[in-house]
């Protein structure tokens, strides 16, 4: 507590602006020195607090894994008991399951400082005694008398030092010890047999929790290839040296789990269930904030958030996950899984931005491609993932073919909409129409007569464009107020010329 007390004294002195402060151990500081020492102690206390928290989290993970291990062992033991009562398992198999359960219970008790709950059958019974006990009770009730220690079973006998050990002896010992058949384990078992040491069953899962508790979470079947690697590592004592630990990490990368997961995913898998839940909820909040208009059910929302949390998804990656869920189709049927979510997604701001790119090049938007761009999914024909920049480039290249006179302007980054905007404004003014009534393309994306007139061999000047609009009856200038007024003026001039009007 001395460091914490010193920190409070220094912090109070700094906040009060004291010119000097003296600590209980006699050290005296100026105001500036007190500020420096306070900051140093603050970092030191924070580091200790963080280390303590990390240590507790690690222990909590070990306890959780150990509890799961005990539950699995209890299930296996009960299965063996039921099988024994139906004559489908031997007493030796029941005893092995019992020893396995007891070992896991003892390890859990060491972690939690709790009293060990005795396994249903005490150690030390001979095979015949276990047989008799189980047959008579049907439930594996523990006998009250203390049994005599049994002789080792054939093949697992400690033997006498100097006794010749056969291959069969080693094979039997490996089975009895629950060890994998590797050269290292064969050597280890042979040496034990030669030395006259008893062969004890190996509870390798408990050894993982004991020797490498930080990796015990990888014992589940979903971590493909890792449980086997952990068993090998503890049986060969890799975790007792830095070289062995490094070897484990290298081998971990080669497992199916290591090959198919990223560092971020592995870091997420390492977290406690509570911390995972916090991360998932944070991503649910992100989705609701950024994509709240897309109507997902709770199950889909949690699925997206879980994937985003495990992947450590950026905003762009989160968006793609959201849109993939919105545009998801059935495995067999091509129908959208959630039509409402898809509809709202195509009506959102992100989709509107992509559709605007289409419009800027006089092309009708393709909803299927818009959906693929939003979801970051590959094109069915090329297999490439189309981005907004790629779409813009593709549309520009197509426009250069259709509007060849304006190719240079298109290469400079101008869109068809930008190039044609002056022509469109003049057409609207000349023909006395709204800008929307002189669109470059129709509802199907087909060029209108206005766009077609500008697809000549060279760019048309704005003066020529006005002349074109007034001289070509297809554009209807003759029906405008200006045309009618000019016609009226012409008639008046002719009437004056012929003396019909003064």
Residue 5: pLDDT band by 50, 70, 90 thresholds?
confident
More reliable by pLDDT, 315 or 99: 315
**Whole-angstrom distance, CA of residue 483 vs CA of residue 470:** 9
Domain-ending residue, one of 119, 144, 164: 119
Running DSSP on this structure, what letter comes out for residue 329? B
How much of the chain is in helix, strand and coil states, percent to nearest 5? Answer: 65, 0, 30
> Is residue 306 over pLDDT 90?
yes
Question: Is 224 inside any structural domain?
Answer: no
Within 8 A by CB and 6+ apart from 67, the residues are 108
More reliable by pLDDT, 77 or 310: 310
Domain-ending residue, one of 119, 138, 155: 119
Q: Say what the pLDDT of residue 152 is.
A: 43
> Is residue 225 over pLDDT 70?
yes
Domain that holds residue 431: 415-488
Find residue 447's DSSP bridge partners. Answer: 441
Q: Say what the pLDDT of residue 485 is.
A: 81
Which tokens in the block code for residue 304? 């997206």
Question: Is 458 inside any structural domain?
Answer: yes
Residue 279: pLDDT band by 50, 70, 90 thresholds?
very high
Q: Say what the pLDDT of residue 495 is.
A: 57
18 sits in the region (left: phi over 0; alpha: psi -120 to 50; else beta) called beta
Residue 319: pLDDT band by 50, 70, 90 thresholds?
very high
C-alpha separations of 302 from 307, 375, 391 in Å = 9, 18, 32
Q: Say what the pLDDT of residue 331 is.
A: 60
> Is residue 223 over pLDDT 70?
yes
Domain-ending residue, one of 65, 99, 119: 119
Question: CA quadruple 185, 190, 195, 200: dihedral positive or negative?
Answer: positive
Chain mean position to CA 182: 36
Question: Is 430 inside any structural domain?
Answer: yes
Question: Is 432 inside any structural domain?
Answer: yes
Q: What is the mean pLDDT of residues 356-377?
A: 89
Is residue 434 within 8 A of residue 382, CB to CB? The reply is no
Chain mean position to CA 469: 59
Residue 199: pLDDT band by 50, 70, 90 thresholds?
low
**Whole-angstrom distance, CA of residue 475 vs CA of residue 202:** 93
Question: Is 409 inside any structural domain?
Answer: no
φ, ψ of residue 387 to 5 degrees: the values are -110, 170
Considering all CA atoms of the chain, what is the largest pairwise distance in Å, rounded to the nearest integer?
147
- Give per-residue pLDDT as tens, 464-485: 888 888 888 888 888 888 878 8
Residue with tokens 């894994």: 65
Specify the number of domains making up the chain.
Answer: 2
Q: What is the mean pLDDT of residues 405-409?
A: 85
In 3D, which of 468, 397, 409 has the Cα closest to residue 421?
409
Please report which helix (H) or strand (E) contains residue 322, including its range: helix 315-326
Is residue 317 within 8 A of residue 311, CB to CB? The reply is yes
Question: Is 253 inside any structural domain?
Answer: no
Please tell me the least confidently modeled range out of 133-147, 244-258, 395-409, 442-456.
133-147
Question: Is 462 inside any structural domain?
Answer: yes
Residue 334: pLDDT band by 50, 70, 90 thresholds?
low
**Whole-angstrom distance, CA of residue 126 vs CA of residue 137:** 16
> Is residue 163 over pLDDT 70?
no
> Is residue 288 over pLDDT 70?
yes
Question: Is 226 inside any structural domain?
Answer: no
Residue 193: pLDDT band by 50, 70, 90 thresholds?
confident
- Give per-residue pLDDT as tens, 370-385: 999 999 999 888 888 9
- Helix extents (H) in 113-241: 127-137, 167-176, 183-194, 204-211, 226-235
């Amino acid at each position: 507590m001395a460091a914490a007390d010193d920190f409070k004294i220094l912090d109070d002195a700094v906040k009060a602006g004291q010119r000097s402060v003296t600590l209980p151990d006699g050290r005296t500081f100026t105001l500036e020195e007190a500020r420096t020492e306070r900051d140093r102690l603050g970092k030191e206390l924070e580091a200790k607090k963080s280390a303590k928290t990390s240590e507790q989290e690690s222990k909590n993970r070990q306890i959780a894994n150990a509890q799961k291990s005990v539950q699995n062992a209890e299930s296996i033991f009960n299965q063996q008991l039921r099988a024994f009562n139906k004559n489908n398992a031997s007493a030796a198999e029941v005893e092995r399951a019992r020893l396995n359960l007891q070992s896991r219970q003892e390890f859990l008790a060491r972690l939690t400082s709790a009293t060990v709950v005795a396994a249903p059958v005490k150690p030390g019974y001979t095979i015949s005694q276990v047989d008799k006990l189980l047959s008579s009770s049907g439930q594996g009730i523990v006998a009250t008398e203390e049994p005599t220690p049994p002789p080792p079973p054939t093949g697992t006998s400690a033997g006498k030092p100097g006794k010749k050990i056969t291959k069969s002896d080693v094979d039997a010992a490996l089975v009895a010890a629950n060890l994998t058949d590797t050269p290292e384990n064969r050597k280890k078992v042979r040496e034990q047999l030669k030395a006259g040491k008893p062969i004890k069953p190996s509870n390798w899962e408990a050894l993982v929790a004991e020797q490498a508790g930080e990796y015990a979470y990888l014992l589940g079947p979903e971590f493909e290839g890792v449980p086997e690697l952990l068993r090998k590592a503890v049986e060969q004592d890799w975790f007792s040296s830095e070289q062995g630990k490094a070897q484990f990490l290298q081998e971990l990368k080669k497992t199916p789990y290591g090959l198919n997961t990223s560092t971020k995913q592995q870091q997420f898998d390492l977290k406690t269930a509570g911390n995972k839940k916090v991360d998932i909820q944070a991503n649910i909040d992100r989705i609701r904030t950024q994509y709240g208009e897309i109507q997902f059910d709770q199950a889909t929302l949690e699925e997206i958030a879980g994937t985003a949390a495990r992947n450590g998804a950026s905003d762009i990656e989160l968006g793609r996950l959201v849109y993939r869920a919105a545009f998801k189709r059935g495995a067999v049927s091509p129908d959208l899984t959630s039509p409402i979510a898809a509809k709202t997604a195509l009506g959102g701001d992100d989709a509107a931005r992509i559709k605007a790119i289409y419009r800027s090049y006089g092309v009708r938007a393709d909803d299927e491609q818009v959906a693929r761009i939003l979801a970051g999914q590959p094109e069915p024909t090329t297999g490439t993932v189309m981005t907004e920049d790629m779409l813009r480039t593709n549309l520009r290249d197509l426009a250069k073919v259709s509007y060849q006179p304006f190719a240079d302007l298109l290469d400079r980054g101008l869109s068809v909409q930008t190039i044609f905007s002056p022509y469109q404004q003049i057409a609207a003014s000349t023909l006395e129409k709204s800008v929307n009534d002189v669109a470059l393309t129709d509802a199907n994306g087909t060029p209108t007569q206005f766009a077609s007139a500008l697809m000549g061999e060279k760019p048309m000047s704005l003066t020529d464009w006005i002349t074109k609009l007034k001289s070509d009856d297809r554009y209807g200038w003759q029906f405008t107020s200006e045309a009618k007024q000019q016609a009226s003026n012409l008639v008046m001039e002719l009437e004056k010329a012929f003396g019909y009007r003064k």
